[in-house]
């Protein structure tokens, strides 16, 4: 019985940590790219830059995993992701012009930041011993291999 309870606590800690990482990544991307995403929307009239910034892994979490968390934590997680969903909905369907969009996004992100602080207070920060997800660019395979393995020489025959 003790083993089963410990496994449940460990599973809840892992779920909690993954949610904390996901929420922190969303907030970091918003902080880094908010101005640029609005500029790109203004120039290109493409919603892609708005929406990719707020990509989240949360929709892949199941009720079974969330049920491992105590109700107070479930509520905090729900409130954060509900606000993130409101931001996503607005950016997906707004007909506002860029300046109005910028003002509205700033206001929504301000509310999301406050809610993220609350979420962090309830579930904790991501585990510092786990490597965080970083924003990275994909490089050509040949470039990646060149750093790890010397390229083969072609034989001219």
Q: What is the pLDDT of residues 1-38, one digit of tens each?
A: 446 566 666 899 999 999 999 999 999 999 988 888 88
Which residue is associated with the tokens 């904790």? Answer: 124
Please state the rounded mean pLDDT for residues 91-112: 90
In this structure, of 6-10, 66-70, 139-143, the range with the lowest mean pLDDT score is 139-143
pLDDT at 18: 93
Tokens of 14: 């892992």
pLDDT at 49: 75
On average, the pLDDT of the chain sits at 80
Q: Which run of H or E residues covers position 8? A: helix 2-44
Tokens of 137: 């660019």
How far is C-alpha 59 from the geometric centre of its chain's CA atoms?
11
Q: Distance of CA 141 to CAs 130, 138, 150, Å?
A: 27, 9, 13
Q: How confident is the model at residue 154 (pLDDT cuts 50, 70, 90)?
A: very low
d(CA 123, CA 19): 9
């Amino acid at each position: 019985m003790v083993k089963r309870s410990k496994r449940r606590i460990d599973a809840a800690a892992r779920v909690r940590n993954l949610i904390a990482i996901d929420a922190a990544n969303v907030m970091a991307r918003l902080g880094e790219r908010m101005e640029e995403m609005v500029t790109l929307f203004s120039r290109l009239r493409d919603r892609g830059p708005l929406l990719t910034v707020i990509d989240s892994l949360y929709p892949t979490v199941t009720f079974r995993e969330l049920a491992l968390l105590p109700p107070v934590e479930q509520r905090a997680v729900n409130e954060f992701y509900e606000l993130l969903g409101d931001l996503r909905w607005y950016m997906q369907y707004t007909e506002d012009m860029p300046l109005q969009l910028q003002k509205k996004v700033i206001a929504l992100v301000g509310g999301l930041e406050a809610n993220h602080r609350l979420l962090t207070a309830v579930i904790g920060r991501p585990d510092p011993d786990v490597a965080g997800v970083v924003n990275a660019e994909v490089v050509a395979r040949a470039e990646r291999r060149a750093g790890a393995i010397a390229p083969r020489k072609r034989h001219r025959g």
